[in-house]
Chain A
Amino acid sequence: MTLLFLSSGLFLGWSLGANDAANIFGTAVATRMVKFRTAALVCAVFVVIGAVVSGSGAVATLGHLGAVNAIGASFMVALAAALAVLWMTKASLPVSVSQAIVGGIVGWNLFTGSATDMTALVKIVSTWIVCPLLSAALAALFFLAARSALRRTRVHILELDALTRLLLIVVGAFGAFSLGANNVANVMGVFVNAFPASTFSVFGLFDITTAQVLFLIGGLAIGSGVVSYSRRVMMTVGKDLFKLTPVTALVVVLSQSIVLFLFASERLQTWLLSHGLPAIPLVPVSSSQAVIGAVIGIALIKGGRNVRFGLLRRIAGGWVATPVIAALIAFLGLFFLQNVFGVVVQYPSP
């Protein structure tokens, strides 16, 4: 039964892997700089590592928004997010799993009468706007640095090719780690509170918490999406949407990876706080929107020609539409689950 309830999260993880791996390795694979097999393997492995090692930060923020504590409800919230993503994708609208899951949690809050922590909500929503902007700024900066370095060093086209291939894999691995760390919250975040917290010893070597087991399962679900279905999406992202040179693609992946990392790293947050600096909120953000932000940042540096500003309006539209649709589906789904199937959707808070 537990596995059945987890299935919606696993499906969400699989679709996230199938779609978002393309943001990291799409251009590299489509331009044949990196073989799909290499990309899929590196991506899947580092997604799992990122999810297990650094996944808890963004999960905690989602927990503040709404502590979904019954597994039946977790199932419905994840399913609502998955259906919202499916619907928006079919309508060819830019969609983010992060925004869908937030909508789902708010839907659960509304249905159960739990209060939505407005501070957490504002924190999350503001990162949706900051994420593409920050990604654009970083990409513009890296692009200028790369251009200046290439002009100064006069590296041969063949040496640049070899170096870019290597960096696409290294930065891609970092991107996959950041994706796992940041986005496993979308996949497994709503299940964490539904399982009793405990710690297991793995062959007496190290301890692993229930949450980490869930992150491992979520990471594996994302990894399976990468391996089984991301090739087509990579070709679409790499060839149809963005025609980037390999060096520009590297800049885009690096910017996106740093943004995802910034919004997921607990260590960085601790370090910033210990140095009296403002902490970056740990929130699941959209890798697609980070990529679009990075591409626009580079396009603006290049003079702003060919920037489809209509796309920005559509992204902004997605910020509103995705969570609203997910909240509605979650609300209706929870109603059916509770009243038709008699499934518990909330336990009283201790």
Chain B
Amino acid sequence: MPTLFGKTRLMESKLDQYLDHASEAALLFREAIKDYLGGRLEEFESRRKQVTEIEKQADQIRIDVERQLYLETLIPDARGDVLGILEHTDEVINTAKETLMLLSVQHPRIPKDLNVDYLELADQGCQAVQELVMGIRAFFRNSPTVTDYVHKVCFWEKEADKVGERLKRRIFESDLELARKLHLGDFVVHVDTLADEAEDVSERLSISAIKRSI
């Protein structure tokens, strides 16, 4: 048995590592937003760089896994699904990296009274990603339970949409200049995208899990 599973165990650990990176990127994203809103810009920059580094490592792992899956013709029936899930999860990590990069470059001035809503939005995106990661792990080991996680991802995405809408209304009902309103509104969309991306992957995951059910 050890010889039979020798190669696959290595692949399994790579997949686990990839998912760890996705989860960590989302947690760092939330903490970075918290730092930014709290004015701790040095900490924010440090976390942003960490996310950038994680994204790079995740990319490399994904490429390795893809190559190995094709070279060794592993899981031929589910290979397309697994690659699709990994590639779309990469979009989630990218979104976290891009949003933090835009914050670092554009440096929007966020009124203090909007901090709680922005933080809630980031937290809901992070929750959606955590549930997604658990769903993907379940897909690899226990596909019938995937729907439980997909359901939670959808829940957090809807919650994020509600907060996003509330936040936009508050921004555009305020006395701020139109340019600043648009700038802040734009960042609502960016932060909200994390949950949207997680939901997109979860939809794919749900279909792949149905295909896998024997």
Contacts and interface: CB of A to CB of B under 8 A. Distances in A.
A32 B144 CA distance: 25
A147 B142 CA distance: 11
Main secondary structure of the interface of A (DSSP, over half): helix
A328 B144 CA distance: 54
B214 A158 contact: no
A32 B7 CA distance: 18
Interface in B4-28: 4-5, 7-9, 11-12, 15
B141 interface: yes
A234 to B, nearest CB: 14
Contacts of A157: 75, 78, 82, 139-141, 212
Interface stretch (A53-61, A169-177, A245-253): A245-253
A155 B5 CA distance: 11
Contacts of A162: 4-5, 7-8
B169 to A, nearest CB: 45
Contact of A151 (B9, B12, B142): B142
Given A147-B214, A156-B141, A245-B212, A32 B5 contact: no
Nearest to A248: B214
A155 to B, nearest CB: 7
A17 to B, nearest CB: 25
A155 B77 CA distance: 16
B141 A155 contact: yes
Interface in A217-274: 245-248
B106 interface: no
A198 B74 CA distance: 51
Task: Among B15, B77, B78, B139, find the residue whose CB has the most chain A CB atoms closer than 10 A.
Answer: B77
A33 to B, nearest CB: 6
Contacts of B9: 159
B140 A163 contact: no
A154 B5 contact: no
A247 B214 contact: yes
Q: Give the size range of B's interface with the partner.
A: 20 to 34
A158 B4 contact: no
A159 B5 contact: yes
A279 interface: no
Contacts of B214: 143, 146-147, 150, 245, 247-248
Given A31-B76, A32-B76, A157-B78, A166 B141 contact: no
B174 interface: no
B12 A156 contact: yes
Contact of A154 (B7, B12, B75, B142): B142
Contacts of A117: none
Contacts of A155: 141
Nearest to A143: B214
A248 B128 CA distance: 34
Contacts of B8: 156, 158-159, 161-162
A161 B142 contact: no
B4 A154 contact: no
A143 to B, nearest CB: 7
Nearest to A249: B77
Contact of B144 (A151, A245, A248): A151
A166 B4 CA distance: 9
A157 B214 CA distance: 13
A219 B194 CA distance: 62
B5 A161 contact: no
A147 B143 CA distance: 11
B17 to A, nearest CB: 14
A159 B2 CA distance: 11
Task: Among A32, A156, A157, A248, find the residue whose CB has the most chain B CB atoms closer than 10 A.
Answer: A157
B4 A161 contact: no
A157 B205 CA distance: 14
Contacts of A248: 214
Interface string A21-54: 0000000000111000000000000000000000
A151 B73 CA distance: 25
A250 to B, nearest CB: 10
Contact of A161 (B15, B74, B141, B144): B74
Interface in B79-104: 82
A161 B79 CA distance: 11
A162 B5 CA distance: 7
Nearest to B69: A158
A147 B144 CA distance: 11
Contact of A31 (B77, B141, B142): B77
B74 A154 contact: no
Nearest to A155: B141
Top-5 shortest CB links A-B:
A158-B8, A32-B76, A154-B141, A161-B75, A154-B142
Given A151-B144, A162-B8, 4 more contacts: A151-B142, A157-B139, A158-B15, A158-B140
Interface of B: 4-5, 7-9, 11-12, 15, 73-78, 82, 139-142, 144, 212, 214
11 contacts: A151-B144, A156-B140, A157-B78, A157-B82, A157-B140, A158-B8, A158-B15, A162-B4, A162-B5, A162-B8, A246-B77
